[in-house]
């Protein structure tokens, strides 16, 4: 993997559904992996920073895992709510800069 | 968390004029600041990395003479869009890096500036 890639690009779920999406990144020159919640034309909101292989972080209904050896991270949302609708960005931190993935746009229908 | 401010939050200017956007870290010193641009329906694109007291490092394809970056102090970086054209209309976000506890870096984003060139 040469770039940071996120899948799927977009996702429509019903309120109450649980969902997850993937961030894939080059495993070389790895310092940290960041997840952001981002509403267009606003500032990205930091969700998690993960550095160690096997890291798991949780904030409320949102959690994330990290595999640095194979170069991927999963973001999980349990019991999605309409207010979770946003674009979720991951970014690989090489120590001196962030490289962003294209984002997963999540839309939660009431 | 740390706070990064941007000013102005939105600006409309005429084609051919220059616009300056300020990015400030309010409660920490940032030796490194980043400028991003967001194209419609796309993710954030890094334009340049700004280090205090030295010249900015521009990403490939970004015109350094058009997007002037100055990082004169540890709390202020400015982006000047010179001779703006309608295609420069975009959302510009700055970010500042803070070395937190344990030596781990955290990166904080400003609220962004919406530039419209008419």
pLDDT digits (tens, 9 = 90+) for B77-99: 999 999 999 999 999 999 988 76
Q: Averaged over B94-109, what is the pLDDT?
A: 73
Q: Which of A70-74, B64-68, B82-86, B93-97 has the lowest mean pLDDT?
A: B93-97
Tokens of A47: 């969700």
| Cross-chain Cβ contact B34/A100 below 8 Å | no
| Cross-chain Cβ contact A96/B106 below 8 Å | no
Tokens of B41: 């329906």
Q: Averaged over A43-56, what is the pLDDT?
A: 90
Q: Averaged over B34-61, what is the pLDDT?
A: 87
Whether residue A17 contacts residue A61, with contact meaning beta carbons closer than 8 Å, is answered with no
pLDDT surpasses 80 at B15 = yes
pLDDT surpasses 60 at B102 = no
Contacts of A49 in chain B (CB under 8 A): 104, 106
What distance in Å separates the CA atoms of residue B2 and residue B13, rounded to the nearest whole number?
31
Give the per-residue pLDDT at A41: 67
CA proximity to A41, closest of B44, B79, B50, B20: B44
Cis amide prior to B8 (ω within 30 degrees): yes
Nearest by CB to B43, from A31, A41, A100: name it.
A100
Q: Which of A41, A87, A90, A104 to mutate to test the interface with B (most CBs of B within 10 A)?
A: A41
Distance from CA of B85 to the nearest CA of A (A): 20
Residue bearing tokens 């706070």: B3
Contacts of A103 in chain B (CB under 8 A): 43
Q: Per-residue confidence at B104, pLDDT binned at 50, 70, 90?
A: low
Give the per-residue pLDDT at B6: 93
Nearest by CB to A49, from B45, B46, B106: name it.
B106
Q: Per-residue confidence at B43, pLDDT binned at 50, 70, 90?
A: confident
pLDDT surpasses 70 at A2 = no
Q: Averaged over A32-54, what is the pLDDT?
A: 87
Tokens of A62: 């949102």
Tokens of B8: 């102005």
- In Å, what is the CA distance from B45 to each residue of B36, B40, B69, B94, B101? 5, 11, 16, 11, 28
State the greatest distance between any 2 C-alpha atoms of chain A, in Å, as a whole number: 41
Higher pLDDT pick, A59 / A2: A59
Whether residue B45 contacts residue B39, with contact meaning beta carbons closer than 8 Å, is answered with yes
Helix (H, G, I), strand (E, B) or coil at B103: helix
- In Å, what is the CA distance from A39 to each residue of B51, B78, B82, B97? 28, 24, 28, 21
Give the per-residue pLDDT at A11: 94
A101 interfacial to chain B (CB closer than 8 Å): yes
Q: Averaged over B64-70, what is the pLDDT?
A: 94
| Cross-chain Cβ contact B112/A42 below 8 Å | yes
Nearest by CB to A100, from B44, B108, B114: name it.
B44
Tokens of A39: 């509403």
Contacts of A43 in chain B (CB under 8 A): 93, 109-112
| Cross-chain Cβ contact B112/A41 below 8 Å | yes
Q: Per-residue confidence at B42, pLDDT binned at 50, 70, 90?
A: confident
Tokens of B65: 């003479």
pLDDT surpasses 90 at B32 = no
pLDDT surpasses 80 at B3 = yes
Give the per-residue pLDDT at A108: 96
B31 interfacial to chain A (CB closer than 8 Å): no
Tokens of B74: 């540890």
Helix (H, G, I), strand (E, B) or coil at B17: coil
């Amino acid at each position: 993997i040469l770039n940071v890639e996120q899948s799927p690009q977009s996702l429509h779920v019903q309120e109450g559904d649980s969902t997850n999406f993937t961030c894939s990144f080059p495993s070389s020159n790895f310092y940290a992996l960041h997840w952001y919640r981002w509403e267009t034309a606003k500032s990205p909101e930091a969700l998690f920073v993960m550095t160690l292989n096997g890291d798991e972080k949780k904030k409320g209904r949102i959690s994330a895992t990290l595999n640095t050896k194979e170069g991927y991270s999963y973001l999980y949302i349990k019991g999605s709510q309409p207010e979770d609708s946003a674009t979720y960005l991951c970014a690989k931190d090489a120590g001196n800069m962030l490289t962003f993935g294209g984002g997963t746009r999540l839309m939660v229908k009431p | 968390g740390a706070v990064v401010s941007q000013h102005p939050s939105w600006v409309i200017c005429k084609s051919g004029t220059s616009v300056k956007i300020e990015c400030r870290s309010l409660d920490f010193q940032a030796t490194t600041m980043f400028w991003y641009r967001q194209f419609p329906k796309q993710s954030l694109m890094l334009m340049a990395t700004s280090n205090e007291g030295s010249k900015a490092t521009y990403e490939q394809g970004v015109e350094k003479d058009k997007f002037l970056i100055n990082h004169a102090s540890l709390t202020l970086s400015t982006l000047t869009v010179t001779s703006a054209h309608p295609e420069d209309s975009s959302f510009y976000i700055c970010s500042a890096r803070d070395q937190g506890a344990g030596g781990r870096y955290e990166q904080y984003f400003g609220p962004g500036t919406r530039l419209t060139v008419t």
